[in-house]
Chains A and B, each alone.
Chain A
Amino acid sequence: MTERQIDRSRPIPGTTVFDAAETRRGYALNRFCMSLTEPGNREAFKADEDGYMKRHGVAEAHRRMVIARDFGGLMNAGGNIYMVMKIGAVTGHGLYTIGAMQRGETLEQFLETRQAKGAR
Chain B
Amino acid sequence: MAGRIIGGIGSSHVPSIGVAYDQGRTQEPDWKPLFDAYGPVRDWLAAQKPDIAIVIYNDHGGDFFFDKYPTFAVGAADRYGIADEGWGPRPLPEPEGDAAFSWHLCESLVYDEFDIAVCQEMKVEHGFLVPMHLCFPHDPAWPVKVVPVAVNVIQHPLPTARRCWKLGQAIRRAVESFPGDSRVVILGTGGMSHQLNGARFGHINPDWDNDFLDRLESDPDSLTDLTHQQIMEEAGAEAVELIMWLTMRGAVSKRATRIHRNYYAPMTTGMGLIAFEEPA
Contact = CB atoms under 8 A, between A and B. Distances in A.
B229 A119 contact: no
Contacts of B266: 114-119
A19 B156 contact: yes
A16 B84 CA distance: 26
Interface in B18-69: 20, 28-31, 34, 60-62, 65-67
B200 A95 contact: no
B30 A99 contact: no
Contacts of B156: 5-6, 17-20
A34 B84 CA distance: 10
29 contacts: A3-B227, A5-B227, A6-B227, A6-B228, A7-B227, A12-B200, A12-B233, A14-B198, A14-B199, A16-B197, A18-B156, A19-B157, A30-B66, A39-B88, A80-B61, A80-B155, A82-B154, A89-B85, A95-B16, A99-B202, A114-B202, A114-B266, A115-B265, A115-B267, A116-B30, A116-B267, A117-B30, A119-B34, A120-B16
Interface stretch (A46-54, A56-64, A102-110): A102-110
B204 to A, nearest CB: 9
B86 interface: yes
Contact of A104 (B28, B87, B199): B199
Interface in A4-33: 4-7, 10, 12-20, 23, 27, 30-31, 33
A24 to B, nearest CB: 9
B247 interface: no
Interface string B174-204: 0000000000000000000001111111100
Contacts of B229: 4-7, 10
Interface of A: 3-7, 10, 12-20, 23, 27, 30-31, 33-34, 36-39, 42, 75, 80-83, 85-86, 89-90, 95-96, 99-100, 102-104, 110, 113-120
B227 A114 contact: no
Interface of B: 16, 20, 28-31, 34, 60-62, 65-67, 83-88, 154-158, 160, 162, 195-202, 227-229, 232-233, 237-238, 265-268
A4 B41 CA distance: 37
Given A34-B65, A114-B267, A119-B266, A15 B237 contact: yes
Contacts of A38: 84
B197 A15 contact: yes
A17 B87 CA distance: 26
B28 A5 contact: no
A86 to B, nearest CB: 4
Contacts, number: 142
B268 A99 contact: yes
B108 to A, nearest CB: 25
B20 A18 contact: no
Contact of B196 (A31, A81, A104): A81
Contacts of A12: 200, 232-233, 237
Contacts of A13: 199-200
A71 to B, nearest CB: 11
A15 B195 contact: yes
A118 B28 contact: yes
Contacts of B238: 81
A15 B158 contact: no
B238 to A, nearest CB: 8
A1 B97 CA distance: 37
A27 B66 CA distance: 8
Given A15-B200, A16-B237, A17-B237, A119 B61 contact: no
Q: Which 9 A-B pairs have the closest CB atoms?
A: A118-B30, A14-B200, A14-B199, A116-B266, A89-B86, A119-B266, A86-B86, A82-B60, A99-B201
